[in-house]
Amino acid sequence: MIMEKITKRGFSLRQRRFVKLFTVGYFFIAFVEIIAEYFRDTTLVYATKPLLMPLLILLYWSTSRRFDYLYVFAILFSWVANIFFVSTLFQSIMIGAFFFIFQRLLIIYIVLKYIKLPSIFPMIVGCIPFLFIYFYLVCLTHDKIGDGLIIFVVQCVLISFLGGLAVGNYIFRSNRANKLLLLSIMFFAITQFVFVLRLYYTESNVFQPIAMILFVAAQYLFYRFLLLAEKKKAGFEIIGGSRV
């Protein structure tokens, strides 16, 4: 019995070391990548950006209680999309946006597993601000987007739906888990807004680093939300419980 406790304690210590290592690695690589984006150092961007999502998977693997493989697939879709986003070619950006559609669909499915809204009304109310902002953005940049307009509109609808879920859920149950989810979705939404502005103001080198800061934060916050969701093994317990 004593040896079993010692073994578990040793494993726990090793696990905490891995968590700390992967967390520091994630944010350090993100910092270097953001600096590279600002100075438009394509070589350094290609060297650092592909490392971000694998580090997040390792961090999730070292801390998860249930290890949701769909979430891992969502991260992998983000990974592929970000590799295409390194290029400034419009075709490459559209391919990356296409992969992000699959990532959004998986995120929606995961969120729906762990939250439960009391009615459809708060979700609709939560969607309205997102749809209004994205409609304005489409009107502003549709000439630049061109053939990618359909993909962009689909992205807007998906992120607006996610925003409606997060806002409506937070209004009724404002706890830690819902706060993390709301912040994550808000950052994802602003990231898409800033990313499209990058296409519109091509001469500025500010928008891409800002988009990456928001993206890195959004991914980490969603990961933290998912850990809280898995801790209770049922979304309704987390969202409704006062202990979160």
What pLDDT tens digit does each residue of the chain (244 aa) get? 433 443 344 446 557 888 999 999 999 999 999 999 999 898 999 999 999 999 999 999 999 878 899 999 999 999 999 889 887 787 888 899 899 999 999 999 999 988 876 578 878 888 988 888 888 877 777 776 777 788 888 988 999 999 999 988 888 878 888 899 999 999 999 998 887 777 666 667 888 899 999 999 999 999 999 999 888 654 444 444 433 3
Q: Of 158, 231, 143, which is closest to residue 188 (Cα–Cα)?
A: 158
Range of the domain at 208: 2-240
Give the Cα separation of 205 and 60 in Å (integer): 32
Residue of 109, 108, 110, 48 whose CA lies nearest to 79? 48
Q: Is the dihedral of CA 223, 218, 127, 93 positive or negative?
A: negative
> What pTM did the predictor assign?
0.87
Nearest to 155 by CA among 212, 110, 196, 199: 196
CA distances in angstroms from 102 to 71, 72, 186, listed in the order given: 12, 12, 19
- Total structural domains in the chain? 1
Chain centroid to CA 165: how far?
Answer: 15
Residues 6+ away with beta carbon under 8 Å from 13: none
